Structure 1
């Protein structure tokens, strides 16, 4: 009889993260670390917890928490402390001595004023990795002006909103918090790089990521084309889906839906649509004319019929679906990306899991999103005596 195989370790097993983050930039990054096995200790305000817990979607909460909060805070334990209390600060610094990473995304200077800045944590662990996420950076023009840094504002400031939509439309925001997500994934990458550097070179360091520069970084193709061609690129009047790309790149209405068509030779799509004149058009100089003609021809075909013809011809195309349709396909396929958990209130939840597949150290759903301060005693008892814990409780209640 073959003995049962022991569970494999998680990739970040043994790594401990002290998490002061809120909204999406920080929590989405630290959830990824938690998914990969890190012990993430989320520090929240007593009573109300992180600000995003109360952010309603369509005016509703789930078991008293925001759907957005629940989406980004699994695999974490919560400790609720008043950061202005000296005893709370002392407890957190003691806790930090057992941690590998500290992550915060307050406005620049807030953590220093609380006595919880990089130098404070480095004093208790000299190889600590201290990560700061922000809207504009720690010491930039807009940071010094104390401007709020939020996803929509970053889309506006970087040019992303002006790249989206067609000519004549107002600047158009993306359909999700793309700057927050980009910043979060960049922050997680920075943390992983710093952990590897510490493993190899024995050093701690400060990691800084901000939404503004992370978003400019994902505009790398557009900015490279603009600067190196010394040209301006404008949104197409007919709806080419990128200001700097040529026909037929875009979305087309069919008899019964919509179809996305990516880059490809005009003579191929001309053949599929049985319109030789299309092949004579210049994909860049005549891009609006080409787009409008393809609009007319696509409107005469059913989505599946046109999709199959394009795919058979080697053209890149896909149907345009709603988010619900994409989700329902995942559910029907039994996708491991969907995870079922129970809210602290007893409400069943379904969340999107971690999209990273590791053959030997897979991610695991270990902890549901925590209630505010759910793990206070469990965490603080590691570094405080019973008397100190009692005194801290008393100070927090006063």
Structure 2
């Protein structure tokens, strides 16, 4: 029994931020009912190749993108534009503790599925709305996508090679990181709202915005600007506040070195064969190393090219210096530590082959994460959910299907 096995969640979201929040809750034991557009489902079902095939999906192979954020969920395919369809969704909401949605601001009001409408009949509902820009403000009605928000929220101004270097220019992060972070913040907000409900009996509305999250997650870089008044610049793989904290080219590749204090720097200099650098007034403290960054980087780079990445990794680890290679994904999933932590696992689907997925990183000693089922085909649970939760008969479900209000 997962920590959240007493909860039921109605997931009206699609793409990534909302589904990610729903998947985290599902992994922790919550029953998550994913309501999808009856004909096409979640947008990401079509975001392939690559595709995964399994007997449970029949002629509907799943995109890898959809698989990333929808395990442990029940798929119910309902057309909320149809009166009977949205009536089913409202009734399901009445039986849920949490609703997650990422429609445009006000987009669900006309269907009677917005927060005010649901709260009127279920005051203890925890209702999380995820949008690009939030429920208020001059941009509230704009659509928001991760790439756009990475640019607007300042992340791309920090990411990429500095001006003057080959390949200079702003670059987005290779994963939709703002969506993921928003999903995690939404999950934290949902759990906080549930704790408040447990004490007071009152639900509440959570307004989660991608742009807010992106600005919040600028973290030390935002504070560097607010304290100094100077906007940080792109630095490639270097760090604005610590030196040396970057990648260096070796004889056969690259290695990341993360020196976090003066003691580590001294041991680093010893491993390089230049202990005198640690006592050089230009490099003896982190502040001085930042002031003489380019000089020190040049000296280190000249030494690092003499040996291969593996040789340096062994030597630096022996000296207690945080370091490591820049792995490809094949390297990542073949790494002995990643394998030991079981970050890749297989979940049985409906056919002879299991579906490979990436594990949830949470390790709870008493209520461990549960992997109950692979991401479902569109509408896989429509019949069961409507029958079990709403008490509809087979004939009533068939009538809804014939009216194209649902898909079974």
Same fold (TM over 0.5): yes
2:28 corresponds to 1:44: no
Shift of 1:349: 1.5
Once structures 1 and 2 are overlaid, which stretch shifts more, 181-190 or 319-328? 319-328
**What is aligned with 2:158?**
163
2:185 corresponds to 1:193: no
SS of structure 2 residue aligned to 1:165: coil
Going from structure 1 to structure 2, the CA distance change for 1:332 and 1:354 (only over 3 Å counts) comes to: closer
Q: Please, which of 342, 353, 359 is the counterpart of residue 353 of structure 1?
A: 359
Gaps of 5+ in 1: 1-8
Any runs of at least 4 consecutive aligned residues in structure 1 with deviations exceeding 6 A, and if so which? none
On the 8 A contact 2:146/2:176 being kept in 1, the answer is yes
Q: Please, which of 373, 377, 380 is the counterpart of residue 374 of structure 1?
A: 380
C-alpha distance in 1, partners of 2:220/2:320? 25
**What is aligned with 1:66?**
63
On the 8 A contact 2:170/2:234 being kept in 1, the answer is no
On the 8 A contact 1:17/1:100 being kept in 2, the answer is yes
**What is aligned with 1:175?**
174
C-alpha distance in 2, partners of 1:45/1:231? 47
2:282 corresponds to 1:313: no
Gaps of 5+ in 2: 54-60, 283-287
Going from structure 1 to structure 2, the CA distance change for 1:41 and 1:275 (only over 3 Å counts) comes to: same
Q: TM-score, normalised by structure 2?
A: 0.88
2:346 corresponds to 1:340: yes
C-alpha distance in 2, partners of 1:102/1:165? 38
Going from structure 1 to structure 2, the CA distance change for 1:246 and 1:350 (only over 3 Å counts) comes to: same
**What is aligned with 1:122?**
119
On the 8 A contact 1:240/1:248 being kept in 2, the answer is no
Shift of 1:202: 1.3
Shift of 1:314: 3.1
How many pairs were matched up?
A: 383
Q: TM-score, normalised by structure 1?
A: 0.90
Pairwise CA RMSD: 2.1
Shift of 1:35: 0.7
Shift of 1:230: 3.0
Going from structure 1 to structure 2, the CA distance change for 1:384 and 1:84 (only over 3 Å counts) comes to: farther
Which whole-Å deviations, capped at 9, do the CAs of 1:179-214 have from their partners, x for residues lacking one? 111111111111111111111221100012111111
C-alpha distance in 1, partners of 2:257/2:337? 26
Shift of 1:42: 0.4
On the 8 A contact 2:133/2:144 being kept in 1, the answer is yes
Shift of 1:378: 0.7
**What is aligned with 1:249?**
245
